[in-house]
């Protein structure tokens, strides 16, 4: 019996088939034109995506503040997409409380700035939300040693948070090694913890790592053009269908 089955909390009782899908591709909202968020989420929903990735940044952890809490609260009323939220903050409490009130499906926070990781994970899961931790590229997997059993997901950043949109950042050279090591850790413990990757994720990377290595892919500017996002969204939908088709046929 997987260890996770002995540690379930109310978050496991939520009927949310989105996160059980193989090769879940989640478009990052900050890749799109932010002047009309309702239009962008509609485009995402029409492209066969079930979730949207939202970056909440405090301006200190990373030098950007693209989406505020009030904006996300208003957006929640405009779309049925599941919200996959990545909090990048020096202090998490305010953001986590506000996001839980708004209604999100999955919430990750950074281990580098959280003093009480177990407490925060349990706090999120007790609200019926999938909880996870995010790691910057150079943060070692040893930080997960005693908390991974409580994680519904682990988000590996392949670039430094907040900088990937500049075009000067590229996935770190040890990204594949880190992904493989995390997969080995999860499988060795018999967990059903998901692996999510973010930071200059390309279609080639999705094809390479899905579905055996990585479960969730945050699709940003490498895959989706801000000027014409519909084309990129369509290509991602085609890619996912091809991957799942190959998987079902045993290729």
Residues assigned a catalytic role = 55, 198
Query: Given the structure tokens 């055996």, which residue do they identify?
Result: 212
d(CA 15, CA 235): 29
CA angle in degrees (0–180, nearest 5) for 59-62-68:
45
What's the Cα-to-Cα distance from 192 to each of 113, 129, 153, 181, rounded to whole Å?
A: 25, 16, 9, 15
Tokens of 220: 């940003």
d(CA 156, CA 230): 26
- Are 236 and 181 within 8 A, CB to CB? no
**Mutual orientation of helices 93-102 and 117-126 as an angle, nearest 10°?**
10
What's the Cα-to-Cα distance from 71 to each of 75, 78, 144, 150, 224, rounded to whole Å?
A: 6, 11, 32, 30, 22
Instruction: List CB contacts of 91: < 8 A, sequence separation 6 or more.
Output: 58, 113
- Are 185 and 144 within 8 A, CB to CB? yes
């Amino acid at each position: 019996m997987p260890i996770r089955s002995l540690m379930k909390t109310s978050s496991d009782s939520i009927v949310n088939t989105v996160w059980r899908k193989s090769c879940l591709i989640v478009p990052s909202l900050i890749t799109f034109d932010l002047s009309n968020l309702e239009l962008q989420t509609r485009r995402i929903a029409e492209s066969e995506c079930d979730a949207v990735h939202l970056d909440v940044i405090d301006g200190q952890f990373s030098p950007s503040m693209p989406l505020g809490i009030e904006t996300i609260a208003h957006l929640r009323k405009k779309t049925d997409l599941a919200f996959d939220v990545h909090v990048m903050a020096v202090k998490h409490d305010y953001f986590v409380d506000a996001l839980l009130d708004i209604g999100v499906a999955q919430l990750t926070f950074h281990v580098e700035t959280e003093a009480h990781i177990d407490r925060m994970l349990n706090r999120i899961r007790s609200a019926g939300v999938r909880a996870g931790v995010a790691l910057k590229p150079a943060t070692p997997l040893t930080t997960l040693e005693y908390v991974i059993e409580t994680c519904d997901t682990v988000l590996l950043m392949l670039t430094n948070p907040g900088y990937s949109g500049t075009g000067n950042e590229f996935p770190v050279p040890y990204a594949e090694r880190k992904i493989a090591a995390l997969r080995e850790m999860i499988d060795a413990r018999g967990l059903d913890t998901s692996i999510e990757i973010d930071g200059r994720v390309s279609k080639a990377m999705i094809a390479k790592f899905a579905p055996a290595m990585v479960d969730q892919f945050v699709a940003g500017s490498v895959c989706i053009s801000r000027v014409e996002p519909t084309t990129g969204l369509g290509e991602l939908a085609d890619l996912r269908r091809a991957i799942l088709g190959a998987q079902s046929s045993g290729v």
